[in-house]
Chain A
Amino acid sequence: NPYAGLVSHLRASWLSGKTRPMEYRIAQLEALGRFLDDKKQEILEATELDMGKPSFEAFFSEILLCKNELNVTLNNLCHWMKDEHVDKNLVMQLDSAFIRKDPFGVVLIIAPWNYPVHLFLVPLIGAIAAGNCAIIKPSEISKNTERLIAETLGCYLDTDCFAVVTGGVPETTRLLENKFDYIFFTGIPPVGRIVMTAAAKHLTPVTLELGGKNPCYVSDTCDLSNVARRVVWGRFFNTGQTCTAPDYLLCTLEMQEKLMPALREAITEFFGPNPRESPDFGRIVSDKQFQRLRALLGSGRVAIGGQTDEAERYIAPTVLADVQPSDPAMQEEIFGPILPIVVIANVDEAIDFINARPRPLALYAFSCDSKIVNQVLERTSSGGFCGNDTLMHMTLPSLPFGGIGNSGMGKYHGKFTFDTFSHHRACLHRNMGLETLNTPRYPPYTQQKLGLLTTTFEVKRKGTCTLL
């Protein structure tokens, strides 16, 4: 077991108790902040090398959003760490009943390649805030960022408590043989299953942030150019390599026709007439992903874009029209700059289409009629939902971010990350006196004692008010 030494070193640090004081946690979190500040340029460069990530985007997702999470945590940590006192019943009035937030111990964070800093750092913020030690396993696919993290994170964080492990599938498999007290995984569903199965051997609780095909319904009544811009932004951000990107559009035939020029206009507005030359449009992360995506271009018909360049791993912002549910583009999560449009007759058909498929991480509905937006919301299920925009529900730290069913389990962001990495321990500190109050519960049992017990423990239904 090649990682046994590392894990037991971290476990020893954990048992020493050094990660528990608030001052320690704050110091580590502030160090993370300095990491983001000092290494900003390197992060922008590494992610550009890895997937042509535009600097603007990299700054937004890898630095700005991370710093937001850091500040929310630093501002509130003292409050989050406090014992939560709860309401008591009659017999416990003199007792202290509260929920204590205990760290789990040594946690494992496995991050993917598409937002390679954000997706290890934001979970790590919660793990540190909750008082844990952590092993971070960045993705080997975003290899420049992986190297940066492995070489520099240790200069900021306490290496007795926080370690980076690099490698691919074999290394991750060996790492998962060890016992962790929590595993936080972001990636695809098949690997999510493998992680949960490995976790089951040690009864390790998990959060799985997975994916799927995020439907985007566009109703007939909507502001065409605003819809187009918001959809284009969400679809082509990070060259489509976003777990919450609108994966495919559902609209009527009429809407497809109307929307096309608006989509074209938005793409041109954002990336210019030749997106290949735009500094704001990225590239596909690897040859394997490039080839996978290129094969999807045969679905439906290419209405916008479709150009590719293998050497650069460039795929133009593409919209496919008249895509059939049986087409390749509708069989897997796209995770690229391709937007298929599937034509449906009306909102009911759209809802049936969505509900016939695995529950997605995100669901989008666009309409000027709020009743339609609400209908889609109420009659479907998804990790999160955004009406009349894309991606934005992820940027509010007060909203939980997570999936359901195939798109995952658990949630994080803001306080939810702290809660994810804490064990909520029920604590009752009773009075040693007043022993007579306990008599009804002791044998020998009598009906009288039972009556007393019932009176003191019963939750009485409040009387219903009857109007005369």
Chain B
Amino acid sequence: MERMQQVVGRARAAFNSGRSRPLEFRIRQLKALERMVQEKEKEIMAALKADLSKSGPDAYSHEILGVLGELVLAMEKLPSWAAPQPVKKNLLTMRDEAYIGYEPLGVVLVIGAWNYPFVLVMQPLIGAIAAGNAVVVKPSEVSKNTAKLVAELLPQYLDKDLYAVITGGVPETTDLLTLRFDHILYTGSTAVGKIVMAAAAKHLTPVTLELGGKSPCYIDKDCDLAVACRRITWGKYTNCGQTCIAPDYILCDPSIQGKVVENIKATLKEFYGEDVKSSPDYGRIVNKRHFERILGLLAGQKIAYGGQTDEATCFIAPTILTDVSPESKVMEEEIFGPVLPIVTVRSVDEAIEFINLREKPLALYVFSNKKQLIKRVISETSSGGLTANDVLMHSVLPELPFGGVGHSGMGAYHGRFSFETFSHRRACLIKDLRWEVLNKLRYPPGSMEMLHL
């Protein structure tokens, strides 16, 4: 705890020194991060493989490519993001300077998650640095190789006092949350999100919470099923289903349930071959606890495909469940694994009602050839984000904010939104000390006639 206080204290002193304010300094730090990612690519990939059995290309495209993209974007756009924004003035302020200034918040805390352990600390870190803050990073202890690597690498490339890494589990994080930060960005579960917000409330610290939930995927009868199922298969089983925006469950008409299963089966063979366990491209569950948790969800379910497991390697085969009851366990919690339940509904109305009876999800998916139907689903539901006719993709466009709503979270980041999340937008009005005559209108003794001017 004492060490933590020292680290945070040093970060605060470093922030107060003002050296993170000049844009050139921030860009230099971002450039150093870029060098780190390029020079240490092998080490990063090795850590991801050790933690999650992530294959090379998968790890690269999910965790490295995205990070490099954010870095380039931030370095390119920082001058325009950070520039004061003049605003529309009214009659009384016509002669004045009125603008919104972007300022750093101070010392911010980034708490990462284990499923995309590198990108989920790096992307917030990039935004926090770009906005001029000092940053304390707390990577997930569950993905321990990546956590160790991040703790080793960041001090080698970045200003050691301004940017610090604190490692540890629940007790360490609980201690850390008693300290005062100027913003906390947390990625993780809904339950812990509440704990983080309650801790933040004690210091009136604003929070961005990237949580989760069950992301529904509605498949309309009128759509290209083969294409839809290929895209869904990709989004569901990548990273072995351990993706916060993975399509959690399918809603479709009973008449196409069989075809959906067939199409997904075919795609799975296409992706992972006949023996999925020996495919280098199929991951594993992160640890025994989650392995057992997901296994428990299969109890009593109609397994249409898959279901094979191997505890020793935390392997769970890509699994599809059919005719799932909305009341069953697998429909209660976020699955976060390679198990895809299909719940049948008779119409899009029923699907919308089903979705709206539940907590707002982080992502929502709808597949249909009918533009009108898609428009309806968007207008009559709410979710963090949405992709129609594909999955996951709304999260890769940096121009779109990435975040949840309701139980799936609050706030957003990625691209410019990261910068804004970690900045204070300060209203600035600079008047002249002269031209007092204009002010006389507002001074007492007041006259009601004056106001009607």
Please give the residue numbers on chain A whose beta carbons come within 8 Å of chain B beta carbons, in ascending order.
15, 17, 20, 54-57, 59-60, 64, 86-89, 92, 97, 99-100, 102, 104-105, 181, 189, 192-193, 196-197, 199-201, 203, 205, 208, 210, 222-223, 225-227, 229-230, 233, 269-272, 278-281, 355, 366-368, 370, 373, 377, 381-389, 392-393, 395-396, 398-401, 404-406, 408-411, 423-433, 435, 438, 441-447, 449-450, 453-454, 457-462
Q: Does B69 sit at the interface, judged by CB under 8 A?
A: yes
Residues of B within 8 A of A387 (CB): 428-431
The residue of chain B having its C-beta at the shortest distance from the C-beta of A104 within the complex is: B405
Query: Which interface class (under 10, 10 to 19, 20 to 34, 35 or more) fits B?
Result: 35 or more
Within 8 A of A (CB), among B148-205: 182, 190, 193-194, 197-198, 200-202, 204
Q: A283: shortest Cβ distance to chain B, in Å?
A: 15
Within 8 A of A (CB), among B38-64: 55-58, 60-61
Contact A203 B211 (CB under 8 A): yes
Within 8 A of A (CB), among B259-305: 270-273, 279-282
Contact B204 A271 (CB under 8 A): no
Q: List 12 A-B contacts (CB under 8 A).
A: A56-B447, A60-B442, A86-B400, A196-B201, A197-B201, A208-B204, A381-B424, A400-B425, A426-B400, A432-B389, A449-B57, A461-B72
Contact A54 B69 (CB under 8 A): no
Q: A425: shortest Cβ distance to chain B, in Å?
A: 6
Contact B399 A445 (CB under 8 A): no
Contact B429 A399 (CB under 8 A): yes
Contact A385 B429 (CB under 8 A): yes
CA distance A56 to B282 in the complex (A): 72
CA distance A64 to B398 in the complex (A): 41
Residues of A within 8 A of B204 (CB): 189, 192-193, 196, 208, 210, 405-406, 408-409
Contact B73 A99 (CB under 8 A): no
Contact A388 B200 (CB under 8 A): no
Residues of A within 8 A of B409 (CB): 203
Contact with B426, one of A192, A381, A398 (Cβ below 8 angstroms): A381
Residues of B within 8 A of A20 (CB): 379
Q: Assuming A193-B201, A428-B386, A457-B396, is B75 touching A398 (CB within 8 A)?
A: no
Q: Assuming A381-B426, A386-B431, is B399 touching A450 (CB within 8 A)?
A: no
Contact with B271, one of A15, A229, A396, A444 (Cβ below 8 angstroms): A444
Contact with A411, one of B61, B89, B425, B442 (Cβ below 8 angstroms): B425
Q: Which of A210, A222, A366, A377 has the most CB of B within 10 A?
A: A377
Q: Does B256 sit at the interface, judged by CB under 8 A?
A: no
Contact A57 B271 (CB under 8 A): no
Contact A425 B385 (CB under 8 A): yes
Contact A445 B202 (CB under 8 A): no
Contact A229 B439 (CB under 8 A): yes
CA distance A279 to B447 in the complex (A): 11
CA distance A411 to B443 in the complex (A): 28
CA distance A36 to B242 in the complex (A): 53
Contact A270 B444 (CB under 8 A): yes
Contact B447 A398 (CB under 8 A): no
Q: Assuming A233-B443, A278-B444, is B87 touching A399 (CB within 8 A)?
A: yes
Q: Does B345 sit at the interface, judged by CB under 8 A?
A: no
CA distance A444 to B388 in the complex (A): 25
Q: Assuming A201-B194, A457-B396, is B201 touching A405 (CB within 8 A)?
A: no
Within 8 A of A (CB), among B428-442: 428-434, 436, 439, 442
Q: Does B223 sit at the interface, judged by CB under 8 A?
A: yes
CA distance A65 to B88 in the complex (A): 17
Contact with A425, one of B68, B75, B383, B390 (Cβ below 8 angstroms): B383
CA distance A80 to B281 in the complex (A): 45
The residue of chain A having its C-beta at the shortest distance from the C-beta of B16 within the complex is: A355
Contact B446 A423 (CB under 8 A): no
Residues of A within 8 A of B434 (CB): 223, 226
Q: B213: shortest Cβ distance to chain A, in Å?
A: 11
Contact B386 A425 (CB under 8 A): yes
The residue of chain A having its C-beta at the shortest distance from the C-beta of B90 within the complex is: A396
Q: Does B412 sit at the interface, judged by CB under 8 A?
A: yes
User: What mask results when residues 200 to 220 of chain B are scored 1 for a CB within 8 Å of chain A, else 0?
Assistant: 111010100101000000000
Contact B65 A428 (CB under 8 A): no
Q: A412: shortest Cβ distance to chain B, in Å?
A: 11
Contact A460 B72 (CB under 8 A): yes
Residues of A within 8 A of B386 (CB): 100, 425-428
Contact with A446, one of B57, B89, B93 (Cβ below 8 angstroms): B57
Contact B429 A389 (CB under 8 A): yes
Binds A, one of B111-119, B226-234, B323-331: B226-234
Contact with A453, one of B65, B211, B281 (Cβ below 8 angstroms): B65
Contact A223 B433 (CB under 8 A): yes
Q: B86: shortest Cβ distance to chain A, in Å?
A: 9
